[in-house]
Amino acid sequence: MKLSAELAAFSARLGHEFADPSLLVRALTHGSLSSATRPDNQRLEFLGDRVLGLTIADALLAHDRHATEGQLAPRLNALVRGETCAQIAREIGLGEVMKLGRSEMMTGGRRKDALLGDAMEAVIAAVYLDAGFEAARAVILHLWGKRLDSAEAAAFNPKTALQEWAQAQGMGPPGYRVAERSGPDHAPSFRIVVRLDDGREAEASGTGTKRNIEQAAASAMLAQIGEIP
C-alpha cells in the first residue's frame, strides 16, 4: 500500500515514515466511516493513550528530578488530556486528513476536540506498532517537547485553586452557570458566570469547551480576589 500525497505530507509533518502505511490509514479512520473491511481507530486510540502516558511520565521525571508525585501528577494530566492532544493534532494538520463519514463531516468533525484528540492518540499507537516504542517516543517528544518546559504552568487549575480558596474562607464550592450559549454545535461559544457564596461574580466568554470557559471564569475571579499565583 502506498500513501497518497496528502498522507505522505502528513507523515512528514509527524516525523515518521511508515513501513506499513495501512496503520496510519486505520489511525485516521473514525467510526463514522468504519465497516467490516475498514476498521476504525478506537483500539489504536486505547493503545496510544498508554504509550503517550508512559512517555510523558518518563520525560517529566527526567525534566524535573526534584518534583514530588503531587507536583508531577497534574503536569502529566495537563500534557496528556484530550484538549492538549487536540491542540497538537491541529498543529500538524491532522484534521485535514481524518477519514470521516458524511454525518461527521457535515457537523464539523474535523474541528472537534474529541475526534482530534482520539485520532492523535491513535496515530501514536500506529507509530508504536509500525516501529516500536522508541520510534513512538521520538515522535511524542518531537511534538510535545516545548510543552514539557511549560508543564508546571499548564498544570495550574484555576477551578481547583478557586475552590480551595473558597473552602479556606468557609464558603461552599463556587457555582458556575451558562449565561449565554451561541454558535454551531461543533464550535459553540459560551458566556459563563462564576459566583461565590458572598455574592461576588466574575465571568468569561469564548469559543471552545464549556470546561475551558469555566476555567477562564475561575481565573477572572482569582484575579478579582488577588489570588493569581
The answer on pLDDT for 227 being more than 60 is: yes
Q: What's the pLDDT score for residue 183?
A: 85
- At 143-162, the pLDDT tens digits run 998 888 877 766 678 888 89
In sign, the C-alpha dihedral spanning 61, 67, 72, 74 is: negative
Measured CA to CA, the distance from residue 79 to residue 153 in angstroms comes to: 11
Binding site: residue ranges?
Answer: 45, 118, 121
Cell of 46: 486505547
What is the CATH code for 158-225?
3.30.160.20
- Give catalytic status of residue 185 as yes or no: no
Q: Residue 130 — pLDDT band, cuts 50, 70, 90?
A: very high
Extents of the domains making up the chain: 5-155, 158-225
Residue type, 223: A
Measured CA to CA, the distance from residue 153 to residue 161 in angstroms comes to: 13
Please pick, among 40, 104, 113, 121, the residue that the annotation labels catalytic: 121
Binding site for Mg(2+): residue ranges?
Answer: 45, 118, 121
In CATH terms, the superfamily for domain 5-155 is Ribonuclease III domain (1.10.1520.10)
- Nearest 5°: CA angle at 149, between 76 and 159? 50
- Give catalytic status of residue 69 as yes or no: no
Please pick, among 40, 49, 104, 113, the residue that the annotation labels catalytic: 49
Measured CA to CA, the distance from residue 177 to residue 122 in angstroms comes to: 34
73: alpha, beta or left, given left = phi > 0 and alpha = psi -120 to 50?
A: alpha
Q: What's the pLDDT score for residue 217?
A: 93
Q: What's the pLDDT score for residue 155?
A: 67
Q: Which residues contact 7 (CB under 8 A, 6 or more apart)?
A: 21, 24, 25, 28, 97
